[in-house]
């Protein structure tokens, strides 16, 4: 695949800028009933606290549209300024028109051109939504989805393909139809008065190779800001890995201005997982830095106790808890801190020297001592039952000294 650097227009969503060379923005979506104002507020706060820079909420019924301005107001009163996006399907034109306070409170509208009606109704409903967005000066995402693609476009494309001398595969035709749906909708939006720098586009599909192909093709055909994601990525490790496979490929090729990982949480699971997955993807690609990283070895037959695993886990939690405090203190660049927690002498000293601070724990049969390396140099050797506490203290002192100056 050729390397593409997609040059996108900058789009302002509340106080967040996406595209135009800005850092890739992390976004997420609530799974609460929007009508349940308190639950929705709690989840927006949790997602924001986890680092979501934009949060999308379902707006599906009149009561949900009416809840939006209340949610927004209450969040602002609690100091949460995270821009809110309304997710509309089927009746967005009616809701945005009938509940102007919702149209005004939202920072962006997501419109699915496959779910706004058919034929003349489609154009009329779509126009109505765009006109509301123009009236309130809001950006929109034209969010095409493989599962709800405009069937009129798809059927026409399939018919044409059937008569072609060299027919394309069904997947190729679907991707062409998705891109046509997105770009023709964007052209219509511009006809109805929307500026190109108010338009974000997505063409999400549920298979990794399809998503990569669709966004790569799309990026060659437009300069709109792109919202990139693998739709219906699935649960747990599988969802995280599949999302990473798709997003990393695109981001590495310069495609994507905002990302979402569409993970299915386990029943009662943590919705903020999708935010952390996005952050890790961006951090792994060195596109953004969100929190100090812990380099830990996988362990092997040379580590017969769990100390280094516990220590690596403890350090991850320690950074998550400490980061807000360090940021409050104005410790600039602390997100870039690298520490190493290694299981034995084989790679321990080497990796520890490459980190800001590293500890090389003793493997099975080794002298029960753990040398510490600070900025590449061995400083002290820890031993005994309090190594974990001592190491954390050293990290804290290092951070205060290096980033607190």
Binding site for ligand SF4 (CB under 6 A): 297-300, 302-303, 342-344, 346-348, 363
Minimum CB distance to ligand SF4 smaller for 69 or for 350: 350
Burial class (CB in 10 A: 0-12, 13-18, 19+), 14: middle
Could you tell me the smallest distance in angstroms from the CB atom of residue 241 to ligand SF4? 21
Could you tell me the smallest distance in angstroms from the CB atom of residue 10 to ligand SF4? 45
Minimum CB distance to ligand SF4 smaller for 12 or for 303: 303
> Positive or negative CA dihedral for 41, 47, 271, 263?
positive
With the CA atoms of 163, 168, 171 and 177 taken in that order, what torsion angle do they form, in degrees rounded to the nearest 10? -60
Q: Within 13 A of 346's CA, how many CA atoms are on the CB side?
A: 13
State both tokens at 50: 């986890």
- Residue-wise DSSP of 293-355: EEEE----TT--SSHHHHHHHHHHHHHHHHHHHHHHTT-TTGGG-EEEEESSTTTHHHHHHHS
Could you tell me the smallest distance in angstroms from the CB atom of residue 362 to ligand SF4? 10
Could you tell me the smallest distance in angstroms from the CB atom of residue 309 to ligand SF4? 10
Minimum CB distance to ligand SF4 smaller for 38 or for 310: 310
Say how far apart CA 53 and CA 275 lie, in whole Å.
Answer: 9
Could you tell me the smallest distance in angstroms from the CB atom of residue 338 to ligand SF4? 16
Q: What are phi and psi of 236, to 5 degrees?
A: 50, -135
Could you tell me the smallest distance in angstroms from the CB atom of residue 356 to ligand SF4? 19
> Alpha carbon 233 to chain centroid distance?
13
Minimum CB distance to ligand SF4 smaller for 83 or for 343: 343
Q: What is the DSSP letter of 265?
A: P
Could you tell me the smallest distance in angstroms from the CB atom of residue 363 to ligand SF4? 5
Could you tell me the smallest distance in angstroms from the CB atom of residue 351 to ligand SF4? 7
Minimum CB distance to ligand SF4 smaller for 268 or for 298: 298
Minimum CB distance to ligand SF4 smaller for 100 or for 349: 349
Minimum CB distance to ligand SF4 smaller for 83 or for 363: 363
Say how far apart CA 316 and CA 276 lie, in whole Å.
Answer: 12
Task: Classify strands 370-374 and 357-360 as parallel, antiparallel or unpaired.
Answer: antiparallel
Say how far apart CA 266 and CA 338 lie, in whole Å.
Answer: 31
Collapsing DSSP to helix, strand or coil, 282 comes out as helix
State both tokens at 109: 């509208």
Could you tell me the smallest distance in angstroms from the CB atom of residue 244 to ligand SF4? 23
Minimum CB distance to ligand SF4 smaller for 207 or for 338: 338
Is residue 184 within 8 Å of residue 199, measured between CB atoms? no
Minimum CB distance to ligand SF4 smaller for 119 or for 301: 301
């Amino acid at each position: 695949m050729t390397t593409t650097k997609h040059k996108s227009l900058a789009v302002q969503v509340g106080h967040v800028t996406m595209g135009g060379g800005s850092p890739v923005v992390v976004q997420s979506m609530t799974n609460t009933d929007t009508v349940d104002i308190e639950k929705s507020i709690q989840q927006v706060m949790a997602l924001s606290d986890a680092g979501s820079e934009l949060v999308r909420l379902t707006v599906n019924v009149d009561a949900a549209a009416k809840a939006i301005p209340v949610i927004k107001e209450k969040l602002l009163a609690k100091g949460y300024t995270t821009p809110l996006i309304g997710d509309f399907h089927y009746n967005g034109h009616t809701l945005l028109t009938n509940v102007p306070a919702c149209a005004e409170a939202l920072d962006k509208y997501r419109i699915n051109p496959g779910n706004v009606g058919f034929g003349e109704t489609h154009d009329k409903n779509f126009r109505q939504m765009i006109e509301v967005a123009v009236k309130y000066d809001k950006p929109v995402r034209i969010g095409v989805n493989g599962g709800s693609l405009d069937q009129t476009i798809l059927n026409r494309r399939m018919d044409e393909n059937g008569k072609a001398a060299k027919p394309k595969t069904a997947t190729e035709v679907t991707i062409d139809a998705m891109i046509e749906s997105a770009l023709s909708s964007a052209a219509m939006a511009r006809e109805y008065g929307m500026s190109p720098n108010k338009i974000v586009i997505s063409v999400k599909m549920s298979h990794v190779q399809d998503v990569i192909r669709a966004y790569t093709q799309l990026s060659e055909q437009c300069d709109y800001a792109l919202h990139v994601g693998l739709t219906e990525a699935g649960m747990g490790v599988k969802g995280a890995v599949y999302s990473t496979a798709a997003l990393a490929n695109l981001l590495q090729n310069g495609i994507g201005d905002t990302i979402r990982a569409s993970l299915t949480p386990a029943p009662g699971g943590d919705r903020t997982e999708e935010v952390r997955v996005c952050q890790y993807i961006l951090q792994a690609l060195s596109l953004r830095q969100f929190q100090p990283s812990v380099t830990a070895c996988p362990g092997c037959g040379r580590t017969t106790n769990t100390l280094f695993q516990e220590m690596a886990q403890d350090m991850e939690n320690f950074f998550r808890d400490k980061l807000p405090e360090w940021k409050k203190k104005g410790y600039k660049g602390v997100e870039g801190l690298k520490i190493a927690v290694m299981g034995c002498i084989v790679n321990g000293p080497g990796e520890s020297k490459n980190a800001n601070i590293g500890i090389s724990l003793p493997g099975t049969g080794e002298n029960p001592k753990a040398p510490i390396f600070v900025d590449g140099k061995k400083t002290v050797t820890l031993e005994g039952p309090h190594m974990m506490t001592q190491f954390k203290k050293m990290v804290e002192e290092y951070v205060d000294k290096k980033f607190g100056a």
